[in-house]
């Protein structure tokens, strides 16, 4: 429960960070204030079932998927009040990652040890996702997008082997691992460090 409270606090901080980014003015050449325009993902689109209703998945189902691929996996943490998680459409996930990468470039966010690292990137992407989910009216759930801790043994997505925080996303096309520092992603079964996923979080 303490861990969930910490995660919710971090998510709130990221919401505030996003709000500041979206509202802080910048100075034009003439000295007049202009709104800072930042890339944002399109309106959230859920994957749908054959009857046209949104597709959902439980945390236990996500946990089982990870366990099938990782020999070191210990636990999936999530808010037990959320009974099911909404599945985003795959093309929406792609657009989210494109907008997220453009946001990082636009704001010139740079990694810095103990100040802004892999976990902060993950929290920002997760907060951005939740903002779009809630704006679409899905207040009682979260998306099947979370983050996980990996003791990476091989280089991937431009990052060296190290203890690392990565994102993951589940769409109608499967389970994907996402590098939050650049938005690169790959299917879980193709991720070279999948056996070393230690724990995962759904906010």
- In the prediction, which pLDDT does 111 show? 60
**pLDDT for 122:** 81
Q: Is the pLDDT of residue 18 over 80?
A: no
Domain ranges of the chain: 40-202
For the stretch 161-170, pLDDT in tens is: 999 999 999 9
**pLDDT tens digits, residue range 87-113?**
999 999 999 999 888 888 887 766 666
- Whether the predicted pLDDT of 186 surpasses 90: yes
**Euclidean distance between CA atoms 118 and 27, whole angstroms:** 31
40-202 has CATH 3.40.630.30 classification: no
User: What predicted TM-score, i.e. pTM, was given to this entire model?
Assistant: 0.80
């Amino acid at each position: 429960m303490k861990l969930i409270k910490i995660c919710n606090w971090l998510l709130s901080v990221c919401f505030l960070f996003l709000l500041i980014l979206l509202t802080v003015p910048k100075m034009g050449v003439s000295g007049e204030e202009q709104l800072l325009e930042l890339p944002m993902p399109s309106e959230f689109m859920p994957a749908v079932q054959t009857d046209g209703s949104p597709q959902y998945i439980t945390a236990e189902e996500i946990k089982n998927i990870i366990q099938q691929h990782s020999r070191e996996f210990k636990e999936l943490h999530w808010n037990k009040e959320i009974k099911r998680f909404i599945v985003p459409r795959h093309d929406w996930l792609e657009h989210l990652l494109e907008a997220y990468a453009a946001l990082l470039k636009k704001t010139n966010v740079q990694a810095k040890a103990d100040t802004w690292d892999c976990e902060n990137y993950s929290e920002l992407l997760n907060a951005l996702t939740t903002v779009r989910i809630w704006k679409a009216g899905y207040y009682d759930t979260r998306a099947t997008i979370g983050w996980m801790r990996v003791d990476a043994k091989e280089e991937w997505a431009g990052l060296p082997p190290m203890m690392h925080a990565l994102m993951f996303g589940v769409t109608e096309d499967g389970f994907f691992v996402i590098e939050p520092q650049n938005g690169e992603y790959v299917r879980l079964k193709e991720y070279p460090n999948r056996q070393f996923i230690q724990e995962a979080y759904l906010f």
